[in-house]
Structure 1
Amino acid sequence: MSVIQPFTSHTPFDQVVADICEKGWSVTDGFFSEELIEALLADISELDNAYMKQAGVGRSNDHQVVLNRRSDYIRWIDPVTSARAAFLDAMSELRLAFNRRLFMGLWDYEAHFARYEEGAFYEKHVDAFKGKSNRVLSTVLYLNEAWGDQDGGDFVLFDEQDENKEVGRYAPIKGRLAVFLSEDFPHEVLTAKRTRHSIAGWFRVNNSIQNNVDPGQ
């Protein structure tokens, strides 16, 4: 595999870490290099829906497909291409930065490609319920060329104290990275007017019991 330069600067983590420390969420443009973004965009563009699966809600025994709540397709990411390996390595570096600077105790990272076809959406939700999940920080990286206001599909983040109050509404433009505390911030994906691509991921802590990693998740 060829080596892909992942970042745009020598200090890529400073703003994201500072944002999480100060307010619990961050939306950053230009975090990753154009080279990596283009490679990831090529990867997901080549994926046929037949090799993805309909996303569901809930985890483990509670997982189910509910199309009136969520209607995207997903494929979990393994380091099988240069782009995916470089992305996972970069997120591992970000995980270490959070641990060193904020002492968050993050254990690992999981992520999947997400495809929202025209008309797809994801209603307001949180990525983790307090005391019931090992997901601590959520991330979303957007991979959409020339996205305009008319294309819909905005990411909407809501206040941690008032879930009806918007913190911000962001277009899923190419290279934009959102990071936020999984338990604290409700969010939604508005209806996409054309195919919309992203990578959703989660930094997790280890809730192991008797050598069984993350039981019941």
Structure 2
Amino acid sequence: MNTKEKLELAIDHLSEVGYFVWDNFVSQDNVKKLVAIANQGSQSGVFKKAGIGKQALFQLDKGIRGDYIQWLDRNNQSEIVQDFLNEIELLKTSLNENCYLGLKDFETHFAIYPEHTFYKRHVDRFQQNAHRVISFVLYLNENWQEGHGGELALYFDDKDEKIQPVAGRLLLFRSELEHEVLMSYRKRYSITGWMLDKDMSLTFLP
């Protein structure tokens, strides 16, 4: 299946089911490079403990989520990171052209879950700042096996789905869907982000 066919399938699944799994969105070689960049950032101290909520409601709570994050933007000097940001920009544009979602921008970060950490059930679309429309997660976990945990569970009215965080896989889902990261029994890497219906510099607006 070529990229155009994958994109058409992604659009159909997002509209009809609410999520889409895109395997081999990036190559295994690029996965290795992105993990190396994440590890370098983690060792240099640029990763920070992730919190919950936004702006005045932001708080840290290890009982809800246990990951560490590093925000990514166009100032990042890594060519491989820039390539990924360009791919997401193209994907955002394609979704806009075909689904009329009004997407204006996106925000994204590396996420590292240490062993025995998780992120309890939640939604990405904040009530006080409801500009996240499409969530995306690129998984960077080589040789991941079912017993390692760390699945992303999506909750629907009539069923639940569990997505394995295998290397190179991109998960797209509607940001209002309830979901959680289940307990991970080994270090878990991803790039997580959100496509927004406002310019990122204006997301403080209601």
What TM-score does the superposition give when structure 2 sets the normalisation length? 0.90
Report how far residue 30 of structure 1 moved.
1.4
Among 92, 117, 128, the alignment partner of 2:125 is 128
In the alignment, which of 18, 21, 24 is matched to residue 15 of structure 2? Answer: 21
Counterpart check, 1:213 vs 2:205: no
**Cα RMSD (Å) of the superposition?**
2.1
SS of residue matched to 2:83: helix
1:142-157 aligned within 5 A: 142-157=139-154
Conserved in 2, the CA contact under 8 Å of 1:36 and 1:87? no
How far 1:135 moved relative to its partner?
A: 0.5
Could you list the per-position Cα deviations for residues 28-47 of structure 1 after superposition, in whole angstroms to 9, with x for gaps in the alignment?
21122334333222211322
Please list every run of 5 or more consecutive structure 2 residues that lacks an aligned counterpart in the other structure: none
Alignment of 1:83-162 (within 5 A): 83-129=80-126, 132-159=129-156, 161=157
1:160-199 matches, within 5 Å, as 161=157, 165-166=159-160, 168-183=161-176, 185-199=177-191
Return closer, same or farther for 1:191/1:130 CA change in 2, 3 Å cut-off: same
Shift of the 131–51 alpha-carbon distance from structure 1 to 2, 3 Å rule, reads closer
Distance 2:32 2:12 in 1: 27
The structure with the greater share of residues assigned to strand is 2
Corresponding residue for residue 68 of structure 2: 73
Higher helix share: 2
Identity of aligned residues (%): 35
Query: Partner of 2:185: helix, strand, or coil?
Result: coil
Unaligned ranges ≥5, structure 1: 1-7
TM-score by length of 1: 0.86
Deviations 1:135-181 (A, max 9, x none): 0000011000101122111111110x36xx41x11221101111111
Measure, in 1, the Cα distance between the counterparts of 2:92 and 2:105: 8
Q: Is the 8 A contact 1:207 1:215 kept in 2?
A: no
| Cα contact 1:105–1:205 (8 A) shared by 2 | yes
Aligned length: 202
Q: Which residue of 2 aligns with 1:59?
A: 54
Check conservation: 2:132, 2:197, Cα contact below 8 A. Answer: yes
Q: Which runs of 4+ in 1 moved over 6 A?
A: none
